[in-house]
């Protein structure tokens, strides 16, 4: 195994997780940031991050960092970090294709003494069950004799501007010595400290359970929102009252999408089945959170009916299409599902979002975003994502998109005062 002094890092996957890692390491250790997306590499070589996580200045500060889409540039690296997506398929079954692809790629250049650390969220045991055999087969090397592995779950929250060095890093290795080496490497960039565990499965479980726990708590609040709405009670008033108690949790109802909380629980549920256990609470939470777009659409449609507004031919503007505020990421973004439900009533839907990449939305969702929504045009407005631009715009300017005679304003995230909106979660 190598030492800190002769370590050269290769980060495979330069998305929301990989790029901040590569930039942080590139300030102290020779680092190659690799991605198969050539366009992404071209942008980063000119110090442009279209995910908007890092500024040009931040990327330029990493003087020991280079970018490449050519695998040969990784040959001199001996400490690999894999940060690729771990999605699910249409049946909610874990899709390991990105991890398999990254492991296969690294296996072609793996050398004796190398260490491969995975950060992608998986179920406990996946690193050794899925990835390690690929590394062995492709390299012809023996695991824990010729090369070693590690797992260190990512804890970055896109768009929250949490500096990676300020978040405690859980680390692990396939042997005691490998764990200590992995921990030492991460200590070079993590000022908040590291937490070394002695079993990679503990580190794997740590991350997937963190996200599943959040999913369950949000699901409960979504259920509460549905029940209180039927009782005619304002959910946010109840939450405000609850928060006067010191140990009340701060979860609120809302849309759950994205590449983490809306996906990761399925990895844990899938693995539990292998051990003969059906995680009913986690699965139920997924069902509740997945139904929220339908609930929002139904509430809007019902209110339109109550006001004698026609559904067929009606026009609704959805503001925000990313999975969370101030973030351009549209993976598993739930506003699109709201639109699908509204269209079942014959309602036409337009989308407005100044944060996301309009070309990406067109390519992935086949949707053309409105550059400037028409004034006094819509029967309903759904403020689905709490972008800062929308908050700064103010409620009056937002409502100006609606018809003067009447327009229903659904403030999903309860950004504005309750008297300013017709509907909220």
The CA radius of gyration of the chain, in Å to the nearest whole number, is 23
Q: With contact defined as beta carbons under 8 Å apart, do 103 and 136 qualify?
A: no
User: Among all residues, which ones are annotated catalytic?
Assistant: 260
Helices (H), 232-367: 235-242, 264-274, 280-290, 292-306, 335-343, 358-365
Q: With contact defined as beta carbons under 8 Å apart, do 338 and 381 qualify?
A: no
How many other CB atoms sit within 10 Å of the CB of residue 415? 18
In the numeric block, the tokens 């909610």 are attached to 92
Indicate the Cα dihedral angle 217, 424, 243, 290, nearest 10°: 0
3-state secondary structure of 419: helix
How many CA atoms, within 13 angstroms, populate the side-chain half-sphere of residue 184? 15
Q: Is 105 left (phi over 0), alpha (psi -120 to 50) or beta?
A: alpha
Instruction: Tell me how far apart the alpha carbons of residues 182 and 117 are, in angstroms, rounded to a whole number.
Output: 8
Using alpha carbons, select from 124, 113, 183, 102 the residue that is nearest to residue 148. 113
Instruction: Tell me how far apart the alpha carbons of residues 363 and 395 are, in angstroms, rounded to a whole number.
Output: 31
3-state secondary structure of 280: helix
Would you say how long the chain is, in residues? 425
Q: With contact defined as beta carbons under 8 Å apart, do 117 and 262 qualify?
A: no
Dig out the tokens for 372 from the structure.
């400037």
Instruction: Tell me how far apart the alpha carbons of residues 189 and 164 are, in angstroms, rounded to a whole number.
Output: 8
Instruction: Tell me how far apart the alpha carbons of residues 109 and 171 are, in angstroms, rounded to a whole number.
Output: 24
3-state secondary structure of 405: coil
In whole angstroms, how far apart are CA 347 and each of 307, 322, 338, 344? 15, 21, 11, 7
Dig out the tokens for 3 from the structure.
């030492």
Instruction: Tell me how far apart the alpha carbons of residues 321 and 327 are, in angstroms, rounded to a whole number.
Output: 10
């Amino acid at each position: 195994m190598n030492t800190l002094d002769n370590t050269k890092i290769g980060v495979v996957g330069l998305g929301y997780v990989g790029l901040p890692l590569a930039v942080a390491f590139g300030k102290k250790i020779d680092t190659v940031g690799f991605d198969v997306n050539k366009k992404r590499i071209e942008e980063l070589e000119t110090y442009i991050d279209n995910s908007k996580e890092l500024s040009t200045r931040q990327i330029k500060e990493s003087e020991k960092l280079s970018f490449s889409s050519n695998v040969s540039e990784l040959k001199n690296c001996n400490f690999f970090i894999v940060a690729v997506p771990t999605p699910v398929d249409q049946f909610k079954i874990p899709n390991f294709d990105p991890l398999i692809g990254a492991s296969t790629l690294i296996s072609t250049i793996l050398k004796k003494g190398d260490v491969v650390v995975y950060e992608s969220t998986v179920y406990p045991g996946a690193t050794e069950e899925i990835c390690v055999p690929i590394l062995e087969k492709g390299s012809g090397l023996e695991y824990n004799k010729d090369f070693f592995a590690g797992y260190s779950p990512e804890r970055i929250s896109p768009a929250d501007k949490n500096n990676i060095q300020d978040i405690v890093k859980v680390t692990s290795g396939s042997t005691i010595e490998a764990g200590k080496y992995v921990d030492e490497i991460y200590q070079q960039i993590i000022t908040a400290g590291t937490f070394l565990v002695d079993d990679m499965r503990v580190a794997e479980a740590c991350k997937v359970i963190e996200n599943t726990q959040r999913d369950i708590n949000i699901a409960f609040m979504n259920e509460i929102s549905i029940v209180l709405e039927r009782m005619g009670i304002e959910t946010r008033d109840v939450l405000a009252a609850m928060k006067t108690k010191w140990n009340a949790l701060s979860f609120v109802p809302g849309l759950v999408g994205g590449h983490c909380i809306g996906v990761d629980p399925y990895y844990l549920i899938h693995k539990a089945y292998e051990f003969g256990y059906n995680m009913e609470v986690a699965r139920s939470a997924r069902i509740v959170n997945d139904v929220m777009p339908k609930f929002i659409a139904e509430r809007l449609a019902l209110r339109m009916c109550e006001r004698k507004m026609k559904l067929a031919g009606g026009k609704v503007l959805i503001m925000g299409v990313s999975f969370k505020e101030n973030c351009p990421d549209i993976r598993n973004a739930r506003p699109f599902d709201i639109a699908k439900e509204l269209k079942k009533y014959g309602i036409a839907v337009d989308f407005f979002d100044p944060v996301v990449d309009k070309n990406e939305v067109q390519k992935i969702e086949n949707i053309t975003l409105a550059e400037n929504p028409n004034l006094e045009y819509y029967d309903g407005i759904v403020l689905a994502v709490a972008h800062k631009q929308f908050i700064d715009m103010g409620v009056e300017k937002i409502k100006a998109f609606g018809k003067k005679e009447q327009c229903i304003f659904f403030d999903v995230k309860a950004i504005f005062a309750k008297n300013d909106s017709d509907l909220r979660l």
